[in-house]
Structure 1
Amino acid sequence: MRVALLLAAGIFVTCPGLHAQSSLKAWQPDGAEIAKRYAGAKYMDSAVKVGILNRTVQPNWIKDGTAFWYKKSLKDSAVEYVYIDAVKGRRKTITKEEAAALPFDSVAAPPRNRWRGRRSAYEEAAPDSSYSAFLRNGNLFLKKINGTEADIALTSDGSNEQPYGAFSWSPDSRYLVAYRIKPVKDSSVYYVLTSQTGTTRGQLRSQEYKQPGDPFTSYEMFLFEAATRKQVKVNTDIIDFGYPSALQWRGNKHFLFERTDRGHQRFRVIEVNVETARTRNVIEEQTPTFIYEQRIVTRYLYDNNSILWVSEKDGWRRMYMVDVVTGSCKPVNQGQWVVREVDSVDEKKKEIWFRASGMDATEDPYHIHYYRIGMDGKNLLSLTPEDGTHQMSFSKDKRFYIDNWSRVNTAPVTVLRRTADGKKIMDLEQADISGLLATGLRLPEIFHAKGRDGVTDIWGIVCRPSNFDSTVKYPVIENIYAGPQDSFVPKSFMAYSEMQSMAELGFIVVQMDGMGTANRSKAFHDMCWHNLADAGFPDRIAWIKALAAKYPYVDDSRVGLYGTSAGGQNAMGGLLFHPEFYSAAVAACGCHDNRVDKQWWNEQWMGYPIGKHYEEQSNVTNAAKLKGNLLLIVGEADTNVPPESTYRVADALIKANKTFDFLPVPGMGHSDGGPYGRAKKRDFFVKHLLGVDPPDRNK
């Protein structure tokens, strides 16, 4: 009743389900206005290059680790040198000469991830330098390193076509592990360079390229005892997917290796007893959907006879301590949050240093924070408490650390903290973005709304024009990339972007991470399984509708989307599968048919063997469903997604008598089409969402 009275009185109100925003008129500029918008976007692209002062601090630690100096940027390209006493928390300005005279020590490099794979070796010496193992005509031989004895043949059934290889000695040099290998040569994909200088002929290029369903080289594991020349086949299946993992020796009698079965639904850490050639599973994970192979983390802790293992097996990406002897598996952490990375493990102190997101339910669940925790799950310490996404660097002895944090619309802040308890010692710098803001730039807004289930929050960002007018309705353009390998919405400070540049033309440009992407719960991620065509569209559409419900100037009746690679597949998919919502799309270098694209990526999410769902979800198969306006862009020299992926979908569109625009870019690799492609993308949305012709560049 109250709402009705307010409307009768001419008072504007908004509330859920009430479309009072319909009173706003759609913004439809004329040619002169759009020309000004192009000029304004070009100006902004240049003006924002003023830069940000002191976005971060690059410390130069002195050798005893108690102090450091850094160079601070001032206006008008001036600099000053700042000396920080980390123990006392004091700062002072010094000269360049004083800084150079300090006993400098570089910060220790972060530990690298363990090397998971190993290719064939052709010769490898035993640890005690007694023998060297080598290949001859595909067979395995031993030779005395300091002797004149004849070479010893360990095998006779190998050949150059099917050799032995990938050697590994036991620590006591008693045993040698090797594989009998049946190589598979990958088939090739091709492209033609049409515009090479110095020739009038197109140049054919090719590369070996494994597509879904293609066979793999196989590896059969054998044990050899150097003294007796005894050969025994290890009691394990032939490895017919990927490469053999690096072996992890536990003493001299046991080693462990890892394998993921093809189809990505089973992962094992297998222990081999070299005296019996028998095996047992120390870790075995199976799932009805997928195990994200590239994010399996195993840290072998030799002093503790244990493995630190990171897995999503219980619904969230968590850490577990696995006892190698007993096989017991105990969680290190609990809760509905995600371990993002294990940075280091201190076996002596039994501490794990890691990154995680989502632990604080009051902030963006994608923000990355740093933590320390005991292997027993006790004494969890937050090292980076501020609401934002963080980057850390330690002093060499790890007594102190520098933390740089920001949000997409919050300028970076750099602080110095004490490692022992995480206590803040002092603020170092806050980035100066005054020059950036003086251009009139609008920083993006962080926005979240419920997804398809009405429960789960979907997070994204919103970019508006600098000369934004809330009394008109602007069309929406979505920047889409729904690849399940990660999440993609920026979380650290975003000074400027193509999204903002496009917004200057008179659009609301948005980006969000829908279900099926990573870094949330396993259930959130599982939406992609055998289902890449879904691309989180129900969540994305709900998000944009919620944005329009909150802001009357958001016109959810005029929505376009653009993307590259998997995003190109998604962009076209929006028109094929959701034409009631999306009306224009620019798809660059899209993997429009998952059977045409690379094996390792597509089988990870679409599964193996190659089922009917591959065909059913293909943009090529569904091309005849096209509604709305489509621009396809492809680089003729794309070595990531074969160019024929786009040509096949173009062929299907032609056969279905569909209207679309097509831009092949000579010599271009895997990209959005480069500067020309990006210009055509803008023109395309101006024409089809704003209803006005873009400037004629031929005049």
Structure 2
Amino acid sequence: MRSLCLPLLLLCSGFATARDADLTEAYRRAERFLPGNVLKLVAHAYVAPNWAEDESGFWYLDNRFGQRTFRWVDVKRATDAPAFDHEKLAKALAKAGDLEVDPQALPFRDIEVSEDRKSISFSLGAASWRWQTETHELVMDEEKDEQRHVVSPDGHRRVFVRDHNLYVHDHRKDKERALTEDGAARFGYGFRPSWYAMQPMGEPDTQGESEGDISASWSPDGTKMISIHLDRRKAKKLYLFQSTPEEGFRAKVWGYERALPVDDQLSTQSFVLFDLKKGTRTPVDMVPQPAYLEWSLPVWSKDGKKLLWPRWKRAFRGVDLVEIDAETGKIRVLLEETSETFVDTNNHQFRLLQESGDILWLSERSGWQHIYRIDGKTGAIKNAVTRGAWVVNRIAQIDEAEGWVTFTASGVEKDQDPYYRRLYKVGLDGNDLTCLTPEPGNHYMRFSPDHRYFVDNLSEVHRTPSVLLRRTRDGKTLKKLAEADIQPLLTAGWVPPEPFRVKARDGKTDLYGLLYKPADFDPNHKYPVIDGTYSGPHAVYTPKSFVELIYRQEQALANLGFIVINVDGMGTSGRGKVFHDFSYKNLGDVGAPDHIGAMRQLAETRPWMDLDRVGIYGHSAGGYDTVRAMLTHPDFYKVGVSSAGNHDHRMAKIWWPELWMGEQGSHYDEQSNLTLADRLKGRLLLVHGDMDNNVNPAATLRLAGELIKHNKDFDLLLIPNKRHLLNDDPYFLRKRWDYFVTHLQGKTPPAGYRIELSL
């Protein structure tokens, strides 16, 4: 027996060694396709412009196979050149700090360019530096003015906040005076509410003034100003328990203001008008508004006599366009937009036509988001500027004298993915619709401040990107800035995902998604399937461009031996009102029937998809989706990894659930994951950062408590000192990989595999 067993043991040991080696190689291959590592294998994939205020040009950070350099584009000359001498700056920095500095990867990623372009400023650690681009002098800015302020149109005055009050300083006279004197803690002037500012318990309350810019706006002639009076006295807080602070051995408790849908007492804000010539202060005659959104300031008319502001109703059933008299503070409602479901604040926009006083207004009243011209005196609709079964995304440039407007839109061209964006031009009378970016693909456009120019990042998920500098009024290409080079990525084994189109649950509506395969795909092999999900109604989750794709995790996960899919089911954004309204009071649906239907349709012609082994993962709203899908479809989804999930919408920041769920009702309880905890069948990993001030970790811990109450097996990972973002955490990524490999493939992951990320 011993002579028989020994060869068998050696043989089994050899299989195990080979299997472990194969799995370790799969982990290495997956690691190569994580976002930070992919960036080392591509060049010029994307340009994010940082425009000068006068639109003369912009700087951008050029990524080339892991190297980063700053470049400056001069719009008039159509030139693209280094923003400064990187070699000389690197040497100066190395000498000043006694360290090594790579000129192709300088230790900062953000700069400020002076108006004359003769200097740049940047921060390095706690220090601020200024580099003279002509004289090559490096100077530390020891006394940098950290006081935030808003400068008047003539540049002579600035408004700032001190001790909760507004002050104005006149540079010509070197004098300052208080505009308000009654500001107090939790009831001060000049700041919007701050959703994410945290303070340790026991320290003085400065939360309303700890983040963000001064919220004030000057009239065009600089004689008047409008600002905010923020009342936080009834604001309630959420808390975070930091078990492992950077110093000491005592835990810290942090608080941050966060209104929840269950709250009936909220922070409020009012507007106040100031006449700098007369020295008067006039409150806007409007009931203080709930401050659960970071409201924008009212928009001034060209003559400074009035302002316009969208006033949202709680639960987002409607929005009023309010006109404010700049002299008296009196208001009148010009236009009221209502809906039986919701008016989507994420996509709403209006623009004031300064010459005629009319307004361009985005509305879904026809079932599709379009531009309407509104009479500025009566509030009546003059005409629909756009129309059709497609969606206007944003208004770009307006030429009132010539009578046209440019805008981005999706779904106009019937032969392409309806989510692809292009730029269009149309007359203000609604005639002569023209496409200004006719090239096939998705156009991701970044406009200059006055929308006269834009950078066009043109690509598809399976198409090499190109980047163009274009003029908005006619789409003319002024310069080709880049053509991406992805050859090293292809050499490393990367294969683009497969776009697909399937039918929704109604059997009629087209849904669009992506299917990812491993680099060593074998059609004769059966692969477990993983659903990467995020059904938040404000988003389109499936990547539509190359740059979106390379910043995602799906391709890396597929290379562990999985088929991974993304699909946007009914209820998500970008497809018209009926499609979107499916989510109303129905977030618990999470699109799961559409996702399951998509996988079944795909598997009909792809026998290598094993629908007996299906997993699901998601983050934030996707974390909720993951658990929800496992609880409502426990026989289909076998394994899930839910990170930073908001498992009960009553615990979320108020605007998000109220926009999609409306007022409180039994549906909030019915669509809580806590309510269905007894239904869990599969293997579930819950993950949360203990310092997440976006989705409080209490949401995950409450779910854990309910699972324990029902004697359910699950796994829980709390990551110390992590906030909401987790995809930059190598340990979390490895644990997610391990979980699917263990429970979907039935394999033992490589022990202690360490993921190396380039961030």
Q: Name the TM-score, length of structure 1 as normaliser.
A: 0.77
Please give the root-mean-square deviation of Cα atoms over the aligned residues, in Å.
5.1
Cα distance in 1 between the residues matched to 2:493 and 2:421: 30
Given candidates 270, 282, 298, the residue that maps to 2:350 is 298
Q: Which moved more, 1:634-643 or 1:664-673?
A: 664-673
Q: Give the C-alpha shift of residue 400 in structure 1.
A: 8.4
Distance 1:54 1:627, change over 3 A: same
Q: Name the TM-score, length of structure 2 as normaliser.
A: 0.71
Matched letter for residue 506 of structure 1: G
Does 2:667 correspond to 1:613? yes
Cα distance in 1 between the residues matched to 2:218 and 2:456: 43
Given candidates 698, 713, 718, the residue that maps to 1:664 is 718
Does 2:638 correspond to 1:583? yes
Does 2:686 correspond to 1:632? yes
| Structure 1 contact 486–517 (Cα < 8 Å) conserved | yes
| Structure 1 contact 168–177 (Cα < 8 Å) conserved | yes
Q: Give the C-alpha shift of residue 696 in structure 1.
A: 3.0
| Structure 1 contact 53–432 (Cα < 8 Å) conserved | yes
Q: Secondary structure at the match of 1:567?
A: helix
Does 2:374 correspond to 1:328? no
Instruction: Tell me what 1:186 maps to.
Output: 235
Q: Secondary structure at the match of 1:326?
A: coil
Given candidates 695, 698, 717, the residue that maps to 1:641 is 695
Q: Which moved more, 1:424-433 or 1:686-695?
A: 424-433
List aligned pairs for 1:133-172, cutoff 5 A. Answer: none
Q: Secondary structure at the match of 1:472?
A: coil
Given candidates 612, 625, 650, the residue that maps to 1:595 is 650
Matched letter for residue 351 of structure 1: W
Distance 1:576 1:423, change over 3 A: same
Instruction: Tell me what 2:395 maps to.
Output: 342
Q: Give the C-alpha shift of residue 359 in structure 1.
A: 0.9
| Structure 1 contact 219–244 (Cα < 8 Å) conserved | no
Q: Secondary structure at the match of 1:623?
A: helix
| Structure 1 contact 135–164 (Cα < 8 Å) conserved | no
1:80-121 Cα distance to aligned partner (Å, 9 max, x none): x9x99999x9x9999x99xxxxxx999xxxxxxxxxxxxxxx
Cα distance in 2 between the residues matched to 1:591 and 1:153: 42
Cα distance in 1 between the residues matched to 2:279 and 2:80: 70
Instruction: Tell me what 1:282 maps to.
Output: 334
| Structure 1 contact 164–178 (Cα < 8 Å) conserved | no
Cα distance in 2 between the residues matched to 1:395 and 1:660: 50
Does 2:517 correspond to 1:468? no
1:600-628 Cα distance to aligned partner (Å, 9 max, x none): 222222222x2221111111121111121
Matched letter for residue 266 of structure 2: F
List aligned pairs for 1:307-456, cutoff 5 A. Answer: 307-329=359-381, 330-392=383-445, 403-414=456-467, 422=475, 430-456=483-509
Q: Give the C-alpha shift of residue 489 in structure 1.
A: 1.2
Q: Give the C-alpha shift of residue 34 in structure 1.
A: 5.6
Instruction: Tell me what 1:200 maps to.
Output: 249
Cα distance in 2 between the residues matched to 1:55 and 1:134: 40
Instruction: Tell me what 1:692 maps to.
Output: 747
1:258-316 Cα distance to aligned partner (Å, 9 max, x none): 20011111100123567887654211101111111232211112212111111222211
Cα distance in 1 between the residues matched to 2:248 and 2:396: 52
Q: Secondary structure at the match of 2:645?
A: coil
Does 2:252 correspond to 1:266? no
Distance 1:332 1:553, change over 3 A: same
Distance 1:399 1:154, change over 3 A: closer
Cα distance in 2 between the residues matched to 1:217 and 1:60: 34
Q: Give the C-alpha shift of residue 43 in structure 1.
A: 3.7
Q: Which moved more, 1:285-294 or 1:432-441?
A: 432-441
Cα distance in 1 between the residues matched to 2:551 and 2:281: 63
Q: Give the C-alpha shift of residue 693 in structure 1.
A: 2.4
| Structure 1 contact 37–504 (Cα < 8 Å) conserved | no
Cα distance in 2 between the residues matched to 1:443 and 1:136: 54
| Structure 1 contact 588–671 (Cα < 8 Å) conserved | no
| Structure 1 contact 179–220 (Cα < 8 Å) conserved | yes
Unpaired runs of at least 5, structure 1: 1-28, 98-103, 107-121
Instruction: Tell me what 1:209 maps to.
Output: 258
List aligned pairs for 1:38-77, cutoff 5 A. Answer: 38-43=24-29, 45-46=31-32, 51-55=41-45
Q: Which moved more, 1:375-384 or 1:573-582?
A: 375-384
Q: Give the C-alpha shift of residue 317 in structure 1.
A: 1.5
Distance 1:648 1:421, change over 3 A: closer
| Structure 1 contact 633–672 (Cα < 8 Å) conserved | no
Distance 1:396 1:600, change over 3 A: closer
Q: Give the C-alpha shift of residue 470 in structure 1.
A: 0.6
| Structure 1 contact 34–505 (Cα < 8 Å) conserved | no
Instruction: Tell me what 2:607 maps to.
Output: 552
Distance 1:615 1:696, change over 3 A: same
Matched letter for residue 250 of structure 2: R
Distance 1:353 1:31, change over 3 A: farther
Distance 1:617 1:66, change over 3 A: closer
Matched letter for residue 346 of structure 2: Q
Unpaired runs of at least 5, structure 2: 1-14, 86-114, 118-147, 191-215, 755-759
| Structure 1 contact 389–491 (Cα < 8 Å) conserved | yes
Distance 1:646 1:236, change over 3 A: same
Q: Secondary structure at the match of 1:634?
A: strand
Q: Secondary structure at the match of 1:477?
A: strand
Cα distance in 2 between the residues matched to 1:619 and 1:334: 40
List aligned pairs for 1:234-249, cutoff 5 A. Answer: 237-242=287-292, 246-249=297-300
Cα distance in 2 between the residues matched to 1:176 and 1:50: 48
Q: Secondary structure at the match of 1:510?
A: strand
Matched letter for residue 442 of structure 1: V
Q: Which moved more, 1:379-388 or 1:634-643?
A: 379-388
Q: Give the C-alpha shift of residue 339 in structure 1.
A: 1.4
Instruction: Tell me what 1:522 maps to.
Output: 577
Matched letter for residue 534 of structure 1: D
Cα distance in 2 between the residues matched to 1:153 and 1:675: 51
| Structure 1 contact 443–495 (Cα < 8 Å) conserved | no
Cα distance in 1 between the residues matched to 2:654 and 2:81: 56
Does 2:309 correspond to 1:257? yes
Q: Give the C-alpha shift of residue 139 in structure 1.
A: 11
Cα distance in 1 between the residues matched to 2:478 and 2:228: 55
Instruction: Tell me what 2:625 maps to.
Output: 570
Larger Cα-atom Rg: 1
Q: Secondary structure at the match of 1:384?
A: coil
Cα distance in 2 between the residues matched to 1:697 and 1:432: 34
Distance 1:105 1:51, change over 3 A: farther
Distance 1:573 1:139, change over 3 A: closer
Cα distance in 1 between the residues matched to 2:476 and 2:159: 54
Q: Give the C-alpha shift of residue 429 in structure 1.
A: 5.9
Cα distance in 1 between the residues matched to 2:651 and 2:328: 44
1:23-82 Cα distance to aligned partner (Å, 9 max, x none): xxxxxx978436413323314533856522443579999xxx999999999999999x9x
Does 2:641 correspond to 1:655? no
Cα distance in 2 between the residues matched to 1:587 and 1:422: 43
Matched letter for residue 203 of structure 1: K
Q: Which moved more, 1:658-667 or 1:244-253?
A: 244-253
1:365-401 Cα distance to aligned partner (Å, 9 max, x none): 1111112222222232212112211145789999987
| Structure 1 contact 458–513 (Cα < 8 Å) conserved | yes
Distance 1:653 1:322, change over 3 A: same
| Structure 1 contact 358–367 (Cα < 8 Å) conserved | yes
